[in-house]
Structure 1
Amino acid sequence: MPALTLSVYIATSLDGFIARPNGAIDWLTDPAFTIPDEDFGYQSFIDSIDALVMGRGTYEKVATFPEWPYPKRVFVLSHTLTNVPDALVDKVELLSLSPRELVTYLAGRGYRHIYLDGGQTIQQFLREGLVDELTLTRVPVLLGEGIPLFGNTGPDIALQHLRTTTYPNGFVQSVYKRA
């Protein structure tokens, strides 16, 4: 069975938050941060993945967007959600699995590169030592409070720095792999 790669691609405020306390991400779309024709490597990253994995909270936030933003299959980890709206049935699958069970499930179905999204999901997979690559874009804003990217991830997690790119709008994007 081919190896499964689990990657994170996420933006944080300088103080480490991925969203405001209410889940809002309006600070990410501030016009001051827009660079025409620049997507900060997002499309290339999306083209490289087979599917996405997110938790209930991230899914519920994304489900409020005017259009579903993901062209690939999305697996939502939840112990409470029981159904998916008709419009998303062909795009979203609900699963109640541990991180390790999910890796086995996805690898067994031929998936090779998975995008992990959402703070709690990323933290769970980091705690289990399952994150292979982390692309972290730091946005030059201090939120003061919000949903943190990193919480209790257990013992130290050694990472190897691969590259850092700076952008004229102040974004600093660093890519790391598991050491």
Structure 2
Amino acid sequence: MKTTVYIATSIDGFIARKNGDIDWLPSGEDVEGEEDYGYQEFIDSVDALVMGRNTYELALSFDSWPYGAKAVFVLSSRKVDIPSDIARTVEALCAPPQEVVHRLSERGFKHLYIDGGKTIQGFLREGLIQQLIITKVPILIGTGIPLFSSLPHDVKLHHLETRQFENGLVQSKYEVIGNAP
């Protein structure tokens, strides 16, 4: 099973403000031709998304459901309200990362998009992330929700490529090559 993180951070490493707001992120219209920063190509490569409850609730607040008919698994220990218009593709799970990967693999999924700060951190701690695609947005927000937290050991990465966009965003792709104790 391949698991990939595709996420944007501020230069100071935050994925959202403390209140979860992402108003500092640029929209696709910020560059002529409505740049999507490789998102469509990436989303087309994954079978399903695994996200935390906060990320799911943020996605619900958008004008439209951003994942179309893609399977979405929401990790939560509490009941998750799933609107009827997305109930065919969204499912709640309450399981640790290792079990999530096992269950979804058994169901035939091959490539998971892991999203949401705590979810990414949990999968990374357990050595379950194979690839990181991180887009740095040229802004300092000073405080917020960090992408990374403490780890029990170093996580070695191999740089695969870096792209720069007209509006100053810099996107780097890394392969996770090992978790060193």
Query: Alignment partner of 1:168: what SS?
Result: coil
Q: Aligned partners of 1:14 and 1:169: how far apart in 2?
A: 14
Query: Alignment partner of 2:154: what SS?
Result: coil
Percent same amino acid among aligned pairs? Answer: 53
Q: Describe the superposition over 1:80-131 as per-residue Cα deviations: whole angstroms up to 9, x where unpaired.
A: 1244222221121000011000011010010000000000000000000000
Query: How far does residue 38 in structure 1 lie from its aligned partner after superposition?
Result: 1.6
Query: Alignment partner of 2:148: what SS?
Result: coil
Corresponding residue for residue 78 of structure 1:
76
Within a 5 Å distance, the mapping from 1:1-179 to structure 2 comes to: 4-29=1-26, 33-71=30-68, 72-179=70-177
The answer to whether the 8 A contact 1:158-1:178 is kept is: yes
Query: How far does residue 31 in structure 1 lie from its aligned partner after superposition?
Result: 8.3
Amino acid at match of 2:107: R
* Unpaired segments ≥5 residues, structure 2: none
Structure 1 outlier segments of 4+, above 3 Å: 30-35
- Name the count of aligned residue pairs: 176
Q: Aligned partners of 2:64 and 2:151: how far apart in 1?
A: 33
C-alpha RMSD of matched pairs (Å) = 1.5
Q: 1:5 to 1:31 in 2, by over 3 A?
A: closer
The answer to whether the 8 A contact 2:135-2:169 is kept is: yes
Amino acid at match of 2:18: P
TM-score, normalised by the number of residues in structure 2: 0.93
Moved more, 9-18 or 166-175: 166-175
TM-score, normalised by the number of residues in structure 1: 0.94
Amino acid at match of 1:131: I
